[in-house]
């Protein structure tokens, strides 16, 4: 903070004053990253698969556009043939954080591949590694998967990297004696294993979205913010075209403002994968709702 009272007693012109004042305001604003509830505010990222038709055509240009449009980070879905160093530099040059990537945990987070994956992620500057899908045929198989991913999460902790599972429909529609596949996964898994809830996928199944978030506190490094499906372009707040309801954003956000583990809201808007417009529309709406 600029301390004007300690400046040398001399005349300064208007331009110098405005420059000093602007610097002071900028520094103050940079430090104001906590909400009224006293916790650090999550940042805003984009799932790059939302724009998969155009991203790798001109990644540097698009990353710069995302930063200019208000995003703080990005989550990858593949590496486009880039090395880890190139991935890190690409994000750093744009001023964006590399939130992480989606990958196949059954392949990349087990056995000899685990260390290779973690070494790459650390060099690329990734914060997290998330595996989707993971369909199984029994509760025991889901439990074994959860334990395997939990072991990966424990190994990743020494790198400062989070490991999680991305929720999809079958996790809540598949049940074994009343236990959902999702609960089976987490029933015996390490507490370090994160859950990356996809709000649209989860809510669409009829599951109690907020109750699921509350059930696993401390495991919310990132949440995929997605509208209920099917939607028009995936824009938040637009009701599904099948007559369904929108995600209960107010209730979700209200709870998440009490959850200290969350670091990222990740926008997922896949309706127009060749356009940035839906992603920016969702970002504006999410920031409006989350402004506490």
User: Domain boundaries in the chain?
Assistant: 43-290
> What does pLDDT average to over the chain?
89
pLDDT of amino acid 10: 37
pLDDT of amino acid 38: 55
Give the residue-averaged pLDDT of 271-284: 97
* pLDDT tops 70 at residue 34: no
From CA 179, how far away is CA 165, in angstroms rounded? 18
* pLDDT tops 80 at residue 39: no
* pLDDT tops 80 at residue 57: yes
Give the residue-averaged pLDDT of 13-39: 41
CA 270 to each of CA 48, 70, 101, 187: distance values in angstroms, whole numbers, following the listed order: 9, 18, 16, 31
Inter-residue contact 165 to 131 (CB < 8 Å): yes
* pLDDT tops 70 at residue 17: no
Question: Per-residue confidence at 9, pLDDT binned at 50, 70, 90?
Answer: very low
Main-chain phi, psi angles of 221, to 5 degrees: -55, -40
pLDDT of amino acid 232: 82
Question: Per-residue confidence at 169, pLDDT binned at 50, 70, 90?
Answer: very high
Give the residue-averaged pLDDT of 81-96: 98
* CATH architecture assignment, domain 43-290: Alpha-Beta Barrel (3.20)
Question: Per-residue confidence at 255, pLDDT binned at 50, 70, 90?
Answer: very high
In degrees to the nearest 10, what's the CA dihedral of 109, 114, 120, 123? 110
Give the residue-averaged pLDDT of 128-137: 96
Return the closest-CA partner of residue 267 out of 23, 44, 17, 19: 44
Give the residue-averaged pLDDT of 65-72: 98
pLDDT of amino acid 32: 39
Query: pLDDT tens digit string along 183-240?
Result: 999 999 999 999 999 999 999 999 999 999 999 999 999 999 999 998 888 999 999 9
pLDDT of amino acid 291: 82
In degrees to the nearest 10, what's the CA dihedral of 194, 269, 227, 180? -40
Give the residue-averaged pLDDT of 143-167: 98
pLDDT of amino acid 231: 83
Phi-psi region of 275 (alpha: psi -120 to 50; beta: other; left: phi over 0): beta
Q: What percent of the chain has pLDDT over 70?
A: 86
3-state secondary structure the chain: CCCHHHCCCCCCCHHHHHHHHHHHHHHHHHHCCECCCCCECCEEEEEHHHHCCCHHHCHHHHHHHHHHCCCCEEEECCCCCCCHHHHHHHHHHHCCEEEEEECCHHHHCCHHHHHHHHHHHHHHCCCEEEECCCCCCCHHHHHHHHHHHHHHHHHHHCCCCEEEEECCCHHHHCEECCEEHHHHHHHCCCCCCEEECEHHHHHHCCCCHHHHHHHCCCCCCEEEECCCCCCCCCCCCCCCCCCCCCCCHHHHHHHHCCCCCCCEEEECCCCCCCCCHHHHHHHHHHHHHHCC
């Amino acid at each position: 903070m600029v301390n004007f009272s300690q400046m040398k007693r001399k005349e300064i012109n208007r331009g110098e004053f405005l420059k000093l004042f602007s610097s002071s305001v900028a520094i103050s604003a940079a430090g104001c990253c906590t909400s009224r509830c006293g916790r650090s505010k999550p940042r805003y990222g984009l799932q790059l698969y939302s724009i998969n038709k155009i991203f790798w055509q001109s990644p540097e240009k698009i990353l710069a556009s995302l930063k200019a449009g208000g995003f703080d980070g990005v989550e990858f879905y593949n590496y486009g043939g880039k090395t880890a160093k190139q991935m890190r530099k690409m994000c750093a040059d744009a001023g964006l954080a590399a939130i992480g990537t989606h990958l196949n945990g059954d392949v990349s987070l087990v056995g000899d591949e685990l260390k290779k994956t973690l070494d790459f992620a650390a060099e690329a500057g990734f914060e997290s590694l998330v595996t989707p899908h993971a369909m199984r045929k029994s509760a025991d198989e889901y439990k074994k998967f959860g334990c395997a991913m939990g072991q990966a999460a424990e190994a990743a902790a020494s790198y400062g990297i989070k490991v999680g599972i991305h929720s999809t429909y079958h996790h809540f529609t598949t049940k074994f004696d009343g236990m959902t596949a999702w609960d089976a996964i987490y029933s015996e898994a390490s507490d370090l294993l994160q859950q990356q809830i996809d709000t649209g996928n989860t809510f669409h199944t009829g599951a109690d979205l907020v109750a699921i978030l509350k059930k696993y506190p401390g495991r919310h490094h990132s949440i995929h913010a997605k509208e209920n499906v099917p939607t028009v372009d995936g824009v938040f707040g637009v009701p599904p075209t099948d007559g369904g309801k929108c995600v209960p954003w107010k209730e979700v956000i209200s709870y998440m403002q009490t959850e200290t583990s969350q670091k990222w809201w990740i926008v997922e808007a896949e309706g127009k994968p060749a356009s940035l417009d839906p992603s920016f529309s969702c970002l504006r709406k999410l920031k409006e709702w989350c402004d506490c």
